A and B are shown apart, each in its own frame.
Chain A
Amino acid sequence: MPHKKFTAVGLAAVACVAVAACSSGGSGKSSSSSGSNPLAPSASNSVVVGSANFPEDELLAQIYADALTSAGVKVTTKFNIGAREVYYPEVVKGAISIIPEYNGALLTTSVDKTSTATSTADVDAALKAKLPSTAEILNSSAAQDKDSITVTQANATKYHLTSIADLSSVAKDWVIGGPSEFQTRADGIVGLKKVYGLTFKSFSPLDESGPITLAALTSGKVQAADVFTTTPQIITDKLVSLSDPKNMFAAQNVLPLVYKKAASAKVVSTLNSVSAKLTTAGLLAMDKSLSVDHQSYTTVASNWLSQNGLK
């Protein structure tokens, strides 16, 4: 009878799909050591490299993972975990061995909210002093993804602007743009006045280094804006990020946050070699390859490692 046959075939199909799904589970980016307790520390020559849920961090994690694999370390990856509130406890517990971090943000978000350290040296020292005993930071790289006051190339040339201090001649006629909280937070309008003595004509609340802010800057609606130093549009729209010699914006050097027990000598030396070669310009170029040229994470990471003799 057709009805019964149909049902039998249908059940068989469902069974096949179920078996296939069970057996193929765990492949791809979020694989973890099968079967074992996910919260137990990894064995000494195998590490878990994690990343936060934004492209740049995933790229850095891919670089770490790639470099470690080339050095003979067994690597499992857990990318796109979530925000710091989610992954930081996992590193402290040892479920994640290594994650790319930004020293300033790590310090003020999870380690010591009251810290006022702004230079790379001070931030690193504060981290070393206040991190829990199970975790540590390795060497910080020169690469920083931090806030900057950014202007168009045309204005930079016209008014000879290279650092924030150079804005003193034009600030009173200029509109500055940034996220709404730029108006009240210490390293925003308040800091520009206190640290550099600058008062702008007005402030335009836009978004956080996103499409609205960049469109406003390039179209001339604002003449200066708070833009992150590794935003790809800096290259494509020919923008200039002014330097911050007085460290009004806290340092945000890229560095590995690691679980001490997973940090064997080989892991530490490999990651320190990576950090030694990482620069803001290099990171910016990689971000552009990712988001503008749409290359894959693995391609961009692999190319960078080869170009820097780390692979």
Chain B
Amino acid sequence: MSYFSDAWNWLIASQNWHGSNGIPIRLAQHLEYTGLALIIALVIAIPAGLAMGHLRRGGFAVVTIANFGRALPTLGLLVLIFVLTSGSILSWLIPLVALAIPPMLVNTYEGVLGVDRELTDAARGMGMTEWQILRKAEIPVALPLILLGVRTSAIQVVATATIAAYIGLGGLGRYIIDGLARDEYNVVAGGAVVIILLALAVQGLFTLLRRVIVPAGLRGQAQNS
């Protein structure tokens, strides 16, 4: 139980909020890694999911990619790529992107696929082009699920970006790795608390985003992850 009070004391100590190993800097680095991985995953997964969902093809590929991505040993991949590329940025970028793609891809695909066929038929009947159907009919209806996919990816990547610290980089993982190496368990616990709070903040951000982006009439769907 004293780990909680140790973590608390570490969190409120002012020296841990300043300097190059302070919480603000580590947080900023952590968000950098998370942000870059998420953006790249978005660019890859969303268009692919939209296309496959709209054309109603590639379902098997989507499921396979999703399972493969979830089974990947992130830390193992990190070390492997680090050794192969002599420590390039790909070392942590590839594992995090690989982790982020499956939820986005699957949810986007399922979201578009699940749009009521009568709706798309009606849109086609009105003379809309395939592109217009996707933009005006399918995406708005699939939006809750797509957003859910992005949220799931974001939280997973925030939690896993700690691995960057294993190859000497920064981020909140620094507290976990250094704390463990030096038997400073208050630092480990404190660092873990910060990561948890960050994940909760991401969750809160997406809840807000949902309220803003998703049309009121569709908000009742896809409540659970």
Interface residues of A (CB under 8 A from B): 177, 179-181, 183-185, 204-207, 211-212, 215-216, 218-219, 221
Contact = CB atoms under 8 A, between A and B. Distances in A.
B178 interface: yes
Given A215-B86, A218-B86, A205 B182 contact: no
B87 A215 contact: yes
Contacts of A218: 86
A206 B167 contact: yes
Contact of A215 (B83, B166, B174): B83
Q: Looking at chain B's contact residues, is the secondary structure mostly helix, strand, loop, or mixed? A: helix
B180 to A, nearest CB: 8
A212 B168 CA distance: 9
A212 B166 contact: yes
A205 B168 contact: yes
B182 A181 contact: yes
Interface string B169-212: 00000100110111000000000000000000000000000000
Contacts of B177: 180, 205
Nearest to B177: A180
Given A207-B166, A219-B87, A212 B182 contact: no
Given A181-B182, A216-B87, A219-B87, 12 more contacts: A177-B168, A180-B177, A180-B178, A204-B168, A205-B165, A205-B168, A206-B168, A211-B82, A211-B83, A212-B166, A215-B83, A221-B168
Interface centre among A184, A185, A212, A218 (most CB of B within 10 A): A212
A219 B166 contact: no
B181 A221 contact: no
A181 B180 CA distance: 9
B86 to A, nearest CB: 3
Contacts of A219: 86-87
Contact of B79 (A184, A204, A205, A212): A212
A262 to B, nearest CB: 36
A221 B178 contact: no
Contacts of A177: 168
Contacts of A221: 86-87, 168
Interface of B: 79, 82-83, 86-87, 165-168, 174, 177-178, 180-182
Nearest to B184: A184
B182 A180 contact: yes
B79 A216 contact: no
A221 B82 CA distance: 11
Contacts of A205: 165, 168, 174, 177-178, 181
Contacts of B178: 180, 183, 205
Interface centre among A206, A211, A215 (most CB of B within 10 A): A215
20 contacts: A179-B181, A180-B180, A180-B181, A180-B182, A181-B181, A183-B178, A204-B168, A205-B174, A205-B181, A212-B79, A212-B82, A212-B166, A212-B168, A215-B82, A215-B86, A215-B87, A218-B86, A219-B87, A221-B86, A221-B168
- The 4 tightest CB contacts between A and B, nearest first, are A219-B86, A180-B181, A204-B168, A181-B181
B197 to A, nearest CB: 23
Contacts of A207: 166
A85 B167 CA distance: 29
A184 B182 contact: yes
A301 B167 CA distance: 35
B91 to A, nearest CB: 9
Nearest to A210: B79
Contacts of B86: 215, 218-219, 221
B79 to A, nearest CB: 6
A305 B225 CA distance: 63
B186 to A, nearest CB: 14
Contacts of B181: 179-181, 205
A247 to B, nearest CB: 23
